[in-house]
Structure 1
Amino acid sequence: MSDRYANFANSGPGRVLVKRLGLPNPPMLRRYRPGDPLVRGPVLVGAAPGGRIEGPVRKMLTVAEVPMDGGPPWSALVFDATGVTDAAALHPIYEFFHANARALAGGGRVIVFGTPPAACASPREATAQRALEGLTRSIGKEFGRGSTAQLVYVAPGAEEFTDSTVRFLLSGRSAYVSGQVIWIGQVSSSPLTNWARPLEGKVALVTGAAQGIGAAIARVLARDGASVVALDVPAAGEALALVANEIGGTALQLDLTRPDAPSTLAAQLLSRHGRVDVVVHNAGITRDKTIAKMSAEQWDAVVDVNLSSQERINDALIPLLPEGGRIISVSSTSGIAGNRGQTNYATSKAGVIGLVQSMAPILAPQGVTINAVAPGFIETRMTARMPLAAREVGRRMNSLSQGGLPIDVAETIAWLAAPGSAGITGNVVRVCGQMWLGA
Structure 2
Amino acid sequence: MTDRYASFVQTGAGRALVKRLGLPDPPRLRRHTPGDPLVPGPVLLGSSARGRIAEPAGKILTAAGVELAEPVAAHDADRRFAALVYDASGITDSSGLRQLYDFFHPQARSLVPSGRVIVLGTPPAECGSPREATAQRALEGLTRSIGKEFGRGVTAQLVYVTREGDAGTPVSLESTLRFLLSGRSAYVSGQVIRVGAGTAVAPADWDRPLDGQVVLVTGAARGIGAALAKVLARDGAQVVALDIPAAGDELAAVANDIGGSAVQLDLTAPDAPIRLAEHLASRHGRVDVVVHNAGITRDKTLGRMDADRWDSVIDVNLSSQERINDVLLERDLIPAGGRIVSVSSIAGIAGNRGQTNYATSKAGVIGLVDSLSPVLRERGISLNAVAPGFIETRLTARIPLTIREAGRRMNSMAQGGLPVDVAETIGWLSWPASGAVSGNVVRVCGQSLLGA
Gaps of 5+ in 2: 71-77
Alpha-carbon RMSD: 1.0
% same residue: 69
Alignment-mate amino acid for residue 95 of structure 1 = D
1: CA distance between counterparts of 2:119 and 2:80? 19
1:148 paired residue number: 155
Q: Which moved more, 1:183-192 or 1:138-147?
A: 183-192
Shift of 1:238: 0.3
One-letter amino acid matched to 1:147 = V
Aligned twin of 2:25: 25
Residues 207-259 of structure 1 deviation map (CA, whole Å, 9 limit, x = unaligned): 00000000011001101111000000000000000000000000100000000
1:436 Cα offset (Å): 1.1
Equivalent residue letter for 1:350: A
Give the structure 1 partner of residue 140 of structure 2: 133
Question: Is 1:170 aligned with 2:181?
Answer: yes
1:232 corresponds to which residue? 243
Measure the CA separation in 2 of the matches of 1:90 and 1:337. Answer: 30
Question: Cα offset for 1:401?
Answer: 0.2
Matches within 5 A, 1:324-363: 324-363=337-376
TM-score by length of 1: 0.99
Report the residue type matching 1:315 in the other structure: D
SS at match of 1:83: coil
| Alpha-carbon distance in structure 2 between the residues aligned to 1:435 and 1:69 | 32
What is residue 320 of structure 1 aligned with on the other side? 333
Q: What is the CA deviation profile of residues 380-432 of structure 1, one whole-angstrom value per residue up to 9, with x for unaligned ones?
A: 00000100001000000000000000000000001000011111111000000
| Alignment counterpart, residue 74 of structure 1, candidates 81, 84, 92 | 81
Counterpart position of 1:65: 65
Residue matched to 1:106: 113
Change (3 A) 1:210 1:190: closer
Q: Distance in 2 between matches of 1:127 and 1:418?
A: 32
- The question of whether the paired residues in 1 share the 8 Å contact of 2:392 and 2:417 is answered with yes
How many residues align? The count is 439
Displacement of 1:365 in angstroms is: 1.3
Q: Is the 8 A contact 1:193 1:419 kept in 2?
A: no
Amino acid aligned to 2:309: Q
Cα distance 1:388–1:63, how it changes in 2: closer, same or farther (>3 A)? same
* Aligned equivalents of 1:39, 1:188: Cα separation in 2: 26
Checking the alignment, whether the CA contact within 8 Å between 2:199 and 2:435 is kept in structure 1 is no
2: CA distance between counterparts of 1:322 and 1:98? 47
What is the alpha-carbon distance in structure 2 between the residues aligned to residue 117 and residue 190 of structure 1? 26
Question: Given the superposition, is the C-alpha separation of residues 182 and 189 from structure 1 closer, same or farther in structure 2, using an over 3 Å criterion?
Answer: closer
Paired residues of 1:219 and 1:247 also in contact (CA < 8 A): yes
Q: Secondary structure at the match of 2:221?
A: coil
For structure 1, which runs of at least 5 residues remain unmatched after alignment?
none
TM-score, with length taken from structure 2: 0.96
Provide the residue aligned with 1:34 in structure 2.
34
| SS of residue matched to 1:279 | strand
Within 5 Å, give how 1:304-319 maps onto structure 2: 304-318=315-329, 319=332
**1:131-174 CA deviation, whole Å, 9 max, x = no partner?**
00000000000000000000000001411111000000000000
Partner of 1:380: 393
1:296 to 288, 294, 307: 307
Distance 2:204 2:326 in 1: 29
Distance in 1 separating the partners of 2:179 and 2:215: 20
- Cα distance between partner residues in 1 of 2:451 and 2:433: 32
Mapping of residues 235-314 of structure 1, within 5 Å: 235-314=246-325
- The alignment status of 1:437 with 2:450, answered yes or no, reads yes
Q: How far off its partner does 1:193 sit?
A: 4.8
What is the match of residue 404 of structure 1? 417
Report the counterpart of residue 97 of structure 1 in structure 2.
104
Between stretches 310-319 and 264-273, larger displacement belongs to 310-319
Q: Supply the distance in 2 between the matched residues of 1:112 and 1:362 (Cα, whole angstroms).
A: 29
> Residue type matched to 1:410 in 2?
A
Amino acid aligned to 1:162: L
Q: Any idea what SS the aligned residue of 2:69 has?
A: coil
